[in-house]
Amino acid sequence: MVTDVAMEPLGLEAEPSVGQSPSSRAWRRFRRNKLAIGGLFFLTLVTVMSILAPWIAQDPNAVDLSVVLQPPSTEHWLGTDQAGRDVFARVLYGGRVSLLIGFASAISTVFIGLVFGTIAGYRGGVFDWIFMRLVEVVLSFPTLVLIIFFVTRFGRNVTTIVLVMALFQWPISGRLVRNMTVAIKEQEFVQAARAFGARGLHTTVRHLIPAAIGPLTVAGTLLAAQAILIESALSFLGFGLSPPTASWGSILNEAQNLTILETMPWLWIPPGLLITLTVLSINFVGDGLRDALDPRTSEMS
């Protein structure tokens, strides 16, 4: 009914605009999404600040027992903790860890999912059957408990956490890619490519992966956000990186105290707020990317 009035802006006589590369038009589509732009700005800010931490903040692990639990001041912008460490510095250094874990595990998860999902979807048959059963098995694990087990068994460091998260999260992206591949494989444009003599590799690279990239990017941002949250939860439970390494979660963990929660908000509001805003920003950017990566999205606002 409403398809009857669907937009088709270009008439046969209409002059097409020349010289706009697909990527510049994708950027224009992204720019339309104000939330995504805001999210991108915030993420960039947090990332740059974290990277520049050694130059703009003090030593995060320097203990100074003469200034414990001090409120924010010009000397310590966000006050100090129980060991007299500078909270501002710990938050920035903590951001390095949290963001690194978030992005590294998202990228590895997406990569594993893309490889297995494409193969399973394209080859089908027994391979697909095994893949899907494996996905179901892994998704039914109690993830957090297993992550705690692996982290305590193999060491509380960034590499272990990233690998373990990839190990338990890949089914999410893998199943997504597999389902996309199965659907796209049956599309007429893929059959057309086969009728032109295309091999499997061409079809995969030109048709299957580009179609999966959009949803996969969105899944990737969600996974990054989730990894940050899982790391926070791990640290909060005391199974995160070994002290004194700071992460947003471990700073929160140290604030587990009624007095601190009631009277010393500078110890828990900054990391809590950063976790929330970062995860939110990543989600906004994911939405924006999904629209930007689909050329069918309108460029007009």
Partner 1 sequence: MTEQREAPGGPNGSGLEDSLLSVRDLTVRFRTTEGEVHAVNGLSLDLEKGETLAIVGESGSGKSVTSLAIMGLLPGEATVEGSVKFDGRELLGLSDRKMRRLRGRDISMVFQDAMTSLDPVFTVGNQIIETIKAHNPSIGAKDARARAVELLDVVGIAAPHRRVDDFPHEMSGGMRQRAMIAVAIANEPSVLIADEPTTALDVTIQAQVMEALALAQDATGAAILLITHDLGLVASYADRVLVMYGGFAFEMGQADEVFYRSKNPYTLGLLNSIPRADRRDEQLQLIRGAPPTAVRKPVGCVFAPRCDFAEDVCAEQVPPLIEVGSGHHSRCHFASSSDFIVDETDGGVADLRSRRSIEYEEAAPVLEVKNLVKHFPVRDGFFKRSTAVVKAVNGVDLTVGKQESLGIVGESGSGKTTVARCILRMTEPTSGSIKFKGLEIQDLEESEMRELRKDLQLVFQDPYASLNPRMTVREIVAEPLKIHGWSKSESRKRVVELLEAVGLSEGHLTRYPHEFSGGQRQRIGIARSLSLGPSLLILDEPVSALDVSVQAQVLNMLDSLQAAFDLAYIYIAHDLSVVRHVSDRVAVMYLGEVVETADSDQLYESPAHPYTHSLLSAVPVPDPTSARSQKRIVLEGDIPDPSDLPGGCAFHTRCPIAQDTCEVEKPPLRSIADGHMVACHFFLEPGETLENRRAKTINQYQLKKNVDQY
Binding site for partner 1 (CB under 8 A): 1-2, 4-13, 15-22, 187-189, 191-199, 202, 206-207, 210-211, 294-296, 298, 300-301
What is the rounded CA–CA span in Å between residue 124 and residue 117? 10
Q: What's the CA gap between 280 and 6, in Å, rounded?
A: 33
Strand partners, 30: none
Toward partner 1, which CB reaches closer, 65 or 197? 197
Comparing CB distances to partner 1, the nearer of 16 and 262 is: 16
Collect all residues with Cβ–Cβ distance below 8 Å to 202 and sequence separation of at least 6: 193
- d(C-alpha 293, C-alpha 221), whole Å: 14
Whose Cβ is closer to partner 1: residue 15's or residue 262's? 15
User: Which C-beta is closer to partner 1: that of 6 or that of 65?
Assistant: 6
Minimum CB separation of residue 301 from partner 1 in Å reads: 8
Q: How far is the CB of 298 from partner 1 (least distance, A)?
A: 6
- To partner 1, the closest distance from the beta carbon of 192 in angstroms equals 5
Q: Do 240 and 253 touch, CB atoms closer than 8 A?
A: yes
- Report the C-alpha dihedral over residues 23, 25, 30, 31, rounded to 10 degrees: 120
Min dist. Cβ of residue 173 to partner 1 (A) = 19
> Least distance (Å) from partner 1 to the CB of residue 211?
6
Cβ distance to partner 1 smaller for residue 188 or 262: 188
Strands (E), 80-222: none
